Amino acid sequence: MGKMARARIMRAASEGVPLRALLYARASADKEKSVDDQADECLEFCEDEGFDVVQVLRENKRSASRYATKERPQFKKVLELMRSGTVDVLVTWENSRAQRDLEVYVELRKICEEFGVLWAYGGDVYDMRDPADRKATARDAVNSESESEDISVRVTRGVRRRAKKGLWHGSRQYGYKREHDPDTGKPLRQVIDPVQGPIVREIVDGLLAGHSVNSIVKSLNDRKVPCSRSGEWNASKIRYFAMSPVYLGKRILNGEVIADGQWPALVTPVEHYTLVNLLTNPSRVTHKDGTRAKHLLSGIALCGRCGSTMGVIKADGYPSYGCRRTRHIVRNKARVDAFIEAALFAALESSDAADVFRVSQGEEIADAFAEAKVLRARLDAFYAQAAQGKLSATGLAAVEADLLPQIEKAERKAEQAMLPPALLGLVGPQARQVWGTLEPVQKRAVVRTVMTPRILPVGKGARNYNRLGVEPGFHHQDGQAA
C-alpha cells in the first residue's frame, strides 16, 4: 500500500468518517472464481480496513478483454458512480476483474485521479495521484492484458484443433442437441434433435417445393413453432437454415468450411447447393402463387393465338382454360391437365431424364461454387486495393476484364450442374408416385420449371372436335401439339 493511500485511510479513521467503498465482482467463465466468492473476500477486506460498503455490483459471464463481444453494463455503472462523487474507493478482487484492456485501464486511472477515488485489489490500496501507485497498477494492468492475450491464443488454438477434427464449439445449432456423459457431464456427441430437426427439414423441403420464404415464416409463426434464440421467425433465419453448411454436416471456422463435422447431416449435398443457388441467384424470378392456387396451368399456360395467359372459366358447364384477354380459345381443363401430366411423366421417367433435367452430384456443384467463390474473393481484394488508392482505375479495369468472365463461366457451370429445386425426387421411375403427394403450388412449380404449355386454335367442324390442341412447350425441346 502506498504512502498516500495509507495516509488517506488513517486520516478518514481519525476523523470518524469511513471511506465509502464500491465493490465490483466479475467472472467471465464458470471455472473462474465466482462473483459471490470475490464479493465475500472484498467485503472481509472492507471490514478489516473500516470501509463503509455503499454498493456491491456483480457481473457474470462477461469478458473484460479487448476481444469481448458483450458490453459490461455493471462496469459502466461503476464508472458513473465514481464520477458522481459518491464513492471514495473502488474494491475489486484483483486488477484483472476491472479490466484486461489497457485502454480501459487508462480511462479508469484518469477517473480515479480526477475524482480522488482509491482503487483496492489483492489486499492493497492504490492512490492514482501517487506516481509509485500508478506504476504498480500499470504493471498489473499490462500483465492482465497479456494474460488475456495468452488466453485468447490458447482458446484460438483449441478451437482450430477441434474444428479440424470436425468437433463442435460454442452453443449448439438449432436442429441439434448434445448428449452428455451421465457421470462427468462432458458432451459426448451431437445428434439431431427430435423436435427441432424436423423443423429444419420442413424449411428445406418447403423451399425446394417452391414455397416462398415469407410463406414459410408465416406458417411457423402462425403455429407458434419455437424459434432459435427466442423471438419470432423471420426471413434471415429461414435463409440461414437453408444455406448453412452446418446442416450439410460440415464444420465451419471463421465463415469457411474446414472439415466434415462429427454430427449427422440434415440436408443432402444436392439439396444444399440447390438452395444456395436458389436463394443467392439475383437473376431468379419468383412466382407468388400463395397457398390458394389450385389449378395446374392457370396463369402459366399461354394462348396460342395472342400469347396471353390462360385463366379458368366455366364453358358448357365444365371448368375450362380460357384466354384471359378475349377468351377466343377455350379448352376443357380436365383434358388439358391430363395431357400435360402424361407428357410430364413421360419426360421425367425417360432414360435420359437425368441429363435432360441436369441432375448432378453434389460434389460437382460444390466444386463449381467453390471456384466461383475463390474468383470473387480475388476480385473483392482488388476492389479493396482500388478503394485504398493502391490500384489505379486502369489496373482495376484490366483485373475485371480478366476475372469477371472467369467468374461468369464458373457460376454458369454451377447453375448448369444444378437440379432445379422443384424437381428434386421427381426424376426417375417414381415420378408419378411423388407427383401424387404434391400440393397444387408444388405441382405448378414443377410445370413452370420444365415447360410453358400453349393452347392452340384447332378450328371448327366435326373433324376437329376431339383435337385438344395443346403443346407441352418443354424448355429443352420443341413441343408437339396433341
C-alpha span between 309 and 297 (Å, rounded): 9
CATH code of the domain covering residue 140:
3.40.50.1390
Neighbours of 222 (CB within 10 A): 9
Q: Distance between alpha carbon 414 and the CA centroid of its chain, in Å?
A: 22
Judge if 341 and 238 occupy the same domain.
no
Task: Write down the pLDDT at residue 155.
Answer: 57
Report the amino acid identity of residue 237: K
Judge if 26 and 98 occupy the same domain.
yes
CB 18 within 8 A of CB 51: yes
Task: Write down the pLDDT at residue 100.
Answer: 79
Note whether residue 464 is domain-resident: yes
Judge if 380 and 242 occupy the same domain.
no
Neighbours of 238 (CB within 10 A): 21
Task: Write down the pLDDT at residue 359.
Answer: 45
Which of 132, 151, 170 is where one domain is finished?
Answer: 151
Q: Of 426, 452, 269, 282, which is closest to residue 354 (Cα–Cα)?
A: 426
Distances (CA, A) of 385 to 373, 397, 403: 19, 13, 15
Judge if 394 and 267 occupy the same domain.
no
Judge if 205 and 331 occupy the same domain.
no
CB 141 within 8 A of CB 95: yes
Task: Write down the pLDDT at residue 86.
Answer: 92
Judge if 401 and 437 occupy the same domain.
no
Judge if 12 and 69 occupy the same domain.
yes
Note whether residue 118 is domain-resident: yes
Which of 123, 151, 179 is where one domain is finished?
Answer: 151
Angle at 90 (CA atoms; ends 89, 96), nearest 5 degrees: 145
Domain membership of residue 207 as a residue range? 191-280
Task: Write down the pLDDT at residue 481.
Answer: 52
Q: CB burial class (10 A; 0-12, 13-18, 19+) of residue 299?
A: middle
Consecutive sets of 10 residues in the chain, 482 residues long: mean pLDDT of each? 80 87 85 82 89 92 77 92 93 85 90 93 90 90 75 61 70 85 83 91 84 88 84 87 86 73 83 76 54 82 90 91 87 94 91 64 60 79 83 85 82 57 73 86 84 86 66 72 54
CB 207 within 8 A of CB 278: yes
Task: Write down the pLDDT at residue 149.
Answer: 62
Task: Write down the pLDDT at residue 257.
Answer: 73
C-alpha dihedral over 222, 228, 234, 240, to 10 degrees? -130
Note whether residue 162 is domain-resident: no
**pTM for this one?**
0.44
Note whether residue 213 is domain-resident: yes
Judge if 116 and 71 occupy the same domain.
yes
Task: Write down the pLDDT at residue 479.
Answer: 47
Judge if 34 and 60 occupy the same domain.
yes
Residue found by looking up cell 492493497 in the block: 124
